[in-house]
Structure formats: structure tokens, C-alpha cells
Amino acid sequence: MSRADPEPSLQDEAARAGWLYYVGGMTQDQIAAELGISRQRAQRLVSRAMAEGLIHVRLNHRIGACMDLEAQMRDRFGLRRVRVVPGLGPGADAVAGIASAAAAELERFLRMPEPLVIGLGTGRALRGLVEALEPMEAPQHRLVSLIGNIAPDGSASFFDVVMRLADRVMAPHYPMLVPVVSSTTAERAAFHALAPVQRVLELARGADVVFIGLGQMSDDAPLHQDGFVSAAELAEMQAAGAAGEVAGWAFDSQGRYLDFGINTRTGGVRVEPGLDRPAIGIAAGATKVPAIHAALKSRIINGLVTDAPTAQALLTRG
């Protein structure tokens, strides 16, 4: 896999299956469940790993180091799901590196036959996920946005993903037809009082699984760059210890949501810490580490798709 081609190859899949079988001690049924594939495909991948010489005393493929990191992340943060992919190197776009792995994780849920409500955040990472997703038909599921889709100038939010995803997988979708951040708390309350919005809010709060990006709250915060937060508001939140945000809701270094500023005017629903359902963060890059770490500590997220440099940075934090 070259830096220019971050898509997972058949060899990548075989390497992962081989690792789970020869090192992890899993059965082929367990491997199939872990990877979201059939038992027959799991068997073929394990055989391929051996035939291509990927398996020796240790896995002869760089994905092995990523799987070591996955195990460490799972143990350290108590994650339900974790995927770590190789980094693309200095200066590369981290989102491009994790998009395919994130798409594969979402595809696991989309292929489930029982109907699910899938909640979606927004941002570059989620948009990259959608663009990497294989077209399919999943009309049994419902897709719902967790965040408003109206920008400050009245246009549709550029990084909203629920409609793009619905078009790709042929599933019914429920956009959050409110501003990402309202001008006042009264305006937010007025939007939330509308009956159609209330129905979408109720659906979003009960989502069976959520996929969310994580934004940093440093001076290059996406909320500020995209015009949702002024420089003065950002400075105020930074002074209060803001470390990151999920779906427009800012939280501190302990993963505690702030009780002032835009959090009183944010549209959509908040991803509550400690959900008993999958809450999977999609994020990578050095600037994202404080936000990811805080969200892991408070269990705003209980699953993560990231890259190796980010995972290593998270494991070295106190």
C-alpha cells in the first residue's frame, strides 16, 4: 500500500485475518464476526495469509503493528471497537488515510439485516467516510443527522453528510433542519419547538449507533474556520478549558461539556457520555489528539477509527 493509495487491499484483509487466527487465537467463525464477513471468506483470507508468506514467527506485514496498537487502545480506554491504520507520513492528509477504514466500519452496520437508526455527525472525516463507501442498498436502516445543517448565511452546511450517505446507500434519511448554531437561545428553542424537528430530535437521541467526527478547539478550530464561532467566543471557551467538540458541542480536557457559549445555542442533539450503544469517533492527526483523548476519557466515544501516529500519541498521554 503506497502513500498515494490508502485503500485496503486484499493482502491487508488477509494480514488482519491471519493475525486474528495465528496470533489472536480466534476461530474462523470469530474472525468472520470480527471483520463482518462470511465464514467462507474468513477461511480464504487465512489461507491466503499463509500462502503469501505473511505469517512467520510474527506477522510479516505492517498492519501487524496497527493491530498491536488496536489491542493497546482497547485495553487502555475500554473501547468496544477500534481500527488503526498505518499513517501516511508527514504532510499527508490524515483524513484520506482513515476514510476507507471508517467506511468499512460503517458498512458492517449497513449490512446488518435488522433495521437500525444510524446517527451521523458532520465534518471532513465523515465526508471522507461517505466518499470512500461502496454504493449499496440498505433501505432497512434510517439515517439521522445529529447536528443542524444550516450555515450562518442560510446555506446548507458544506460538510453535512446524511443526504450524501442516503444517496449512496438508498436509505431513508432525516436531516436536522435547524442552524448548526442559532443566534440566540430563544431562536434555538423556537426551532426545537417545531413538530418535524422534534420528531428528528427524538429519532437522533435513540440512534442505535452513531458515527461522529471530533473537532479541535485550538485557534484552527473547524467551528471557527467555518464561521459558526467568533474569535471572541472561541477565546472564551479556550479560557474555560475547551479541548474539543462533537457535533458542535464543546467539551473540556476531561470530556465534560461546557455549560455556556455556543453550547446553549447548538442545534441538534448532544452525544451523551457513557452510551450503551456504539459511539464511534472518526478522527486522526496531531491537532485532534487532545479532543480525542478527552472524548475517550469521558466515554463520549466508545469506538475509534484513527491512524497509527494518532494512536501512539493517545497512548503516551497521561
Fold agreement (1-61, 68-316): no
Does pLDDT of 3 surpass 50?
no
Structure confidence by residue, pLDDT tens digits, 72-91: 999 999 999 999 999 888 87
Cβ-based neighbours of 290, under 8 Å, separated by 6 or more: 216, 243, 244, 253
CATH fold, domain 68-316, is Rossmann fold (3.40.50)
C-alpha cell read off for 286? 496531531
Residue count of the chain: 318
CB atoms within 10 A of CB 316: 8
Tell me what pLDDT residue 8 has. Answer: 55
**Class for domain 1-61, per CATH?**
mainly alpha
Tell me what pLDDT residue 87 has. Answer: 87
CB atoms within 10 A of CB 295: 28
Inter-residue contact 247 to 279 (CB < 8 Å) = no
Cβ-based neighbours of 233, under 8 Å, separated by 6 or more: 261, 262
Structure confidence by residue, pLDDT tens digits, 266-304: 999 999 999 999 999 999 999 999 999 999 999 999 999
**Average pLDDT for 247-272:** 94
Tell me what pLDDT residue 1 has. Answer: 38
The amino acid at residue 181 is V
Tell me what pLDDT residue 102 has. Answer: 94
Mean pLDDT value across the chain: 90
Between 123 and 256, the higher pLDDT residue: 256
C-alpha cell read off for 186? 430563544
Does pLDDT of 109 surpass 50?
yes
Q: Where are the domains of the chain?
A: 1-61, 68-316
Residue 6's pLDDT band (cuts 50, 70, 90): very low
Tell me what pLDDT residue 273 has. Answer: 97
Strands 279-282, 303-307: parallel, antiparallel or unpaired by DSSP? parallel
For residue 135, give the nearest of 156, 101, 110 by alpha carbon. Answer: 110
High-pLDDT (> 90) share of the chain, %: 66
Between 156 and 7, the higher pLDDT residue: 156
CA distance 149 to 175: 7
Tell me what pLDDT residue 307 has. Answer: 95
Structure confidence by residue, pLDDT tens digits, 182-207: 999 999 999 999 999 999 999 999 99
**Model's pTM, two decimal places?**
0.81
High-pLDDT (> 70) share of the chain, %: 94
Inter-residue contact 118 to 278 (CB < 8 Å) = no
Structure confidence by residue, pLDDT tens digits, 33-72: 888 898 889 998 988 888 887 766 445 566 778 989 999 9
Inter-residue contact 119 to 205 (CB < 8 Å) = no
- Show the CA angle centred on residue 174, arms to residues 246 and 276, nearest 5°: 50
